[in-house]
Structure 1
Amino acid sequence: MSDFADTALAVTARLRSLFPATPLQKNAYLSQKYGAEIWLKREDLSPVRSYKIRGAFNAMRKALEADPGQSMFVAASAGNHAQGVAFNCAHFGVTGVIFMPVTTPRQKVDKTRAFGGNSVEIRLVGDYFDETLRVAQAFCAERGAHFLAPFDDPHVIEGQSSVAVEMLQELGTPPDLVILPVGGGGLASGVKRYFDEMAPGVPLWLVEPAGGASLTAALAVGAPETLPRVDSFVDGAAVAQIGRKTFDILRRIPPDQVLLAPEDRICVTILEMLNVEGIVLEPAGALSLDVLPQLAERIRGKRVVCVTSGGNFDFERLPEVKERAQRYAGLKKYFILRLPQRPGALRDFLEMLGPDDDIARFEYLKKSARNFGSVLIGIETSRAENFDTLFTRLAAADFTYRDITSDQILSEFLI
């Protein structure tokens, strides 16, 4: 057994003083759906509802062993790392100053406060994580505090490897396939290092959000690459640049084993797991499940472990998640209708709607000097095919319309 595997086992044993191993649960619904034996490693059931508590614990423990007099720790996080740090600050009796992006969901900010209590101070800075990170590191250098990196740190990587240790211990024998999310790379690199030693034949499939594909970008050029723009919806995994230390471990992952999950499709997965299984997952926590349809043929008849990495979901975001899921599934569309300025024109349009078509948005601006008026319409329906029928009727009646559902600029401005 290598030094890393020994360390991973030791870290896992030490974690038992903080919390029991998170469950590895066979999911009957997904297993039946995909004709496979699908197990969920429920990191969403840790004390802070994510795996981040592991790396924070190990990094803080190592720092205190090296310098028992260290009393202040600083972290930058979009939420889950912050909660892990806060929990451990209270556990070790030290002070933490935690920097979080202004865009962090309120639920994560409140939970961080609750876990840390009087041990932590929270500062909301920056719109994106990378900006928050720069401010936190500058503060840390100025105050002589110890910075707890969210992912690009060997001690954090050791801590996250405990997920792999528990996975093999709970399963008994290695699975056929493991699917896990990747953001900065701490979890993926920790799992990979342990599996390389203890279960080298098991392929790892990594999933990152389409709007934050930092590993894909790094693999393309052979080094960490800063993305010009990041979609912060998957706030637990959307980073502009993967860690340098983590990429050194992940650089040999075959590029075709790194999958991208569109943000709107992730919303479909979140709702499916909530409505069918009663499992609450945040966007990053749903990544490993979101790609199951893409891997359906590959996983059939096999034993698969999916890491559900976090469950810190703010239910104030549920309307947005539902909206994005409906639009991705083709069950909701927005379009601009050019409506003739004549009596009965609106009634003619309404009669074209099917029995399952429901108007969710209607804004009409009548301009008396023109023969036509523009109407912004949002329609929900039960089957995507219903829109084909509606649009066929509109065309036959010479109604002019423009579908703006996928037009990002118009959608953001009008909807």
Structure 2
Amino acid sequence: MSKHTTKDTFAERVDRAAETLRGLFAETPLQVNHHLSDKYGGHIYLKREDLSPVRSYKIRGAFNFFRKELARSDAANSFVCASAGNHAQGFAYVCRHFERHGVIFMPVTTPQQKIDKTRIFGGEFIEIRLIGDFFDECLRAALAFANDHGARMVPPFDHKDIVEGQATVAHEIAAQLPAGKAPDMVVLPVGGGGLAGGVTRYFEAIGQAPRFVFAEPEGAPSLKSALAEGRRIKLAKVDNFVDGAAVAEIGAEPYRMLKHHLAEDVHLVPENRLCATMIEMLNIEGVVLEPAGALAIDALKDFSKRELKNKTIVVVVSGGNFDFERLPDVKERALRFEGLKKYFVFRFPQRPGALRNFLDLMGPDDDITRFEYLKKSARNFGSVLIGIETKERRNFDTLARRFREAGWAYQDITNNEMLAELII
């Protein structure tokens, strides 16, 4: 039995978790980022959770859960989780560390790269079972396994031991900042809320009161919706592009810690804008981030330089498990957000020389990246999908004028989500 009692404060429990965590890996760096500091006018520090052994903060919660469970007399020898991402990898790494058997349920649709990486982290101590096409099916199978085999279910965020583990991020930040300096602002990504709940609770517990800013995907606003309604609600639909933070309902334990914040504290990050941030960090800083890992950095775009000037700002970079097969899609979304790429459906004349006439309207910095007939059954005209990329967004104003003067009939479908999903 643990010698510590339930009278320990939250901060004391987190401090102890951080101390024991050092037996697994060293603290992740807190780095001044000069590019972002110059861009936004503040003293911006990045807490690099993408540099943990599993390239995300999820290892912290999993470790603390195992540590505390194994300290109890009735501890299970077998553990189970459901995840297709960072939680699975953190779980696998910890299974190997504690030499405990773990079963990981993943959807059949999980990319092979993620499966292989999880298997490397867990080695002989884990087995992976692929169940169903969607996460909900996978979760049901994991819960059934835990019930039937007496295995301990390790949730990704909604458990006090998980939240305490994630809060070790704040313990490290407080120790890593220059002596006598406290953050004026802490920017946190939000998915299920375990990280945000733990970090805010820790800073409050040690008597520091930075301004907390939360960043959620625009397509999965579970915390903002809950704060606006004054209760947890389950979203009817989420956009899974930011897969590490696409959660339909904020966790009960995290919400308990976050419910005193305002809905205005939560910034919704458009997915295409987020892609531009990912590309910026890759090209300028050489930092590879997954979509959820770039959320907090992207939220800085919502502030003016005047608001951030001379402020000490800590931005939590939650993960860097990026599948480079997604890079073309990320670059595409980034270009569309920046106004450098557009898609049009043209009513194209079916006559010799029509294509040459169209190409003559292009400027020196304009490039046709896609040309595809959608319908050619009409005798005089055919519908053509044309993608155009350019170097300056104002070039599209020039093109629009040329198209109009030349009498070309067309429709800009760049921001038409329904059509874009069907034909782009």
Q: TM-score scaled by structure 1?
A: 0.96
Among candidates 396, 404, 422, match of residue 387 of structure 1: 396
Report 1:208-219 matches (<5 A).
Answer: 208-219=216-227
Partner of 1:321: 330
Number of matched pairs: 415
RMSD over aligned Cα, in angstroms? 1.6
Identity of aligned pairs, percent? 58
Deviation (angstroms), 1:64: 1.2
Q: Distance in 2 between matches of 1:409 and 1:95?
A: 45
Deviation (angstroms), 1:108: 2.5
Q: Structure 1 unaligned segments of length 5 or more: list them.
A: none
CA contact (8 A) 2:374 2:385 kept: no
CA contact (8 A) 1:181 1:207 kept: yes
Does residue 176 of structure 1 match 2:184? yes
Deviation (angstroms), 1:404: 1.2
Among candidates 359, 373, 379, match of residue 364 of structure 1: 373
Deviation (angstroms), 1:101: 3.2
Report 1:156-171 matches (<5 A).
Answer: 156-171=162-177
- Residues 183 and 216 (structure 1), Cα distance of their counterparts in 2 relative to 1, 3 Å cut: same
Q: Distance in 2 between matches of 1:385 and 1:13?
A: 55
DSSP 3-state at the match of 2:316: strand
Deviation (angstroms), 1:218: 1.1
Partner AA of 1:195 in structure 2:
F
Does residue 276 of structure 1 match 2:278? no
Q: Distance in 2 between matches of 1:156 and 1:69?
A: 16
CA contact (8 A) 1:27 1:39 kept: yes
Partner of 2:228: 220
- Residues 368 and 150 (structure 1), Cα distance of their counterparts in 2 relative to 1, 3 Å cut: closer
Report 1:117-196 matches (<5 A).
Answer: 117-171=123-177, 172=179, 173-196=181-204
CA contact (8 A) 2:369 2:387 kept: yes
- Residues 112 and 65 (structure 1), Cα distance of their counterparts in 2 relative to 1, 3 Å cut: same
1:17-74 C-alpha deviation (Å, 9 max, x unpaired)? 0000000000011111111100000000000000000000000111111146522101
Partner AA of 1:208 in structure 2:
E
Report 1:7-406 matches (<5 A).
Answer: 7-67=13-73, 70-171=76-177, 172=179, 173-296=181-304, 297-364=306-373, 367=376, 369-406=378-415
- Residues 149 and 8 (structure 1), Cα distance of their counterparts in 2 relative to 1, 3 Å cut: same
DSSP 3-state at the match of 2:336: helix
Deviation (angstroms), 1:128: 4.2
DSSP 3-state at the match of 1:376: strand
- Residues 93 and 350 (structure 1), Cα distance of their counterparts in 2 relative to 1, 3 Å cut: same
Among candidates 409, 413, 421, match of residue 412 of structure 1: 421
Partner AA of 2:114 in structure 1:
K
Q: Distance in 2 between matches of 1:15 and 1:24?
A: 17
CA contact (8 A) 1:358 1:381 kept: yes
DSSP 3-state at the match of 1:41: strand
Q: Distance in 1 between matches of 2:185 and 2:134?
A: 33
Among candidates 6, 24, 32, match of residue 12 of structure 2: 6
Once the two structures are overlaid, the 10-residue window that deviates more, 238-247 or 216-225, is 216-225
CA contact (8 A) 2:189 2:216 kept: yes
Q: Distance in 2 between matches of 1:346 and 1:396?
A: 16
DSSP 3-state at the match of 1:321: helix
CA contact (8 A) 2:42 2:308 kept: yes
Partner of 2:4: none
1:200-234 C-alpha deviation (Å, 9 max, x unpaired)? 32111111111111111211222211111111111
Q: Distance in 2 between matches of 1:365 and 1:299?
A: 49
Deviation (angstroms), 1:125: 3.1
Q: Distance in 1 between matches of 2:407 and 2:274?
A: 37
Q: TM-score scaled by structure 2?
A: 0.94
Deviation (angstroms), 1:339: 1.1
- Residues 369 and 290 (structure 1), Cα distance of their counterparts in 2 relative to 1, 3 Å cut: closer
1:373-404 C-alpha deviation (Å, 9 max, x unpaired)? 11111111111111111111111111000111
CA contact (8 A) 2:50 2:317 kept: yes
Deviation (angstroms), 1:126: 4.0
Deviation (angstroms), 1:105: 4.0
Q: Distance in 1 between matches of 2:197 and 2:378?
A: 65
Q: Distance in 1 between matches of 2:375 and 2:420?
A: 21
Deviation (angstroms), 1:235: 1.0
Partner AA of 2:410 in structure 1:
Y
DSSP 3-state at the match of 1:355: coil
1:304-336 C-alpha deviation (Å, 9 max, x unpaired)? 000000000111111111111111111111111
- Residues 181 and 127 (structure 1), Cα distance of their counterparts in 2 relative to 1, 3 Å cut: farther
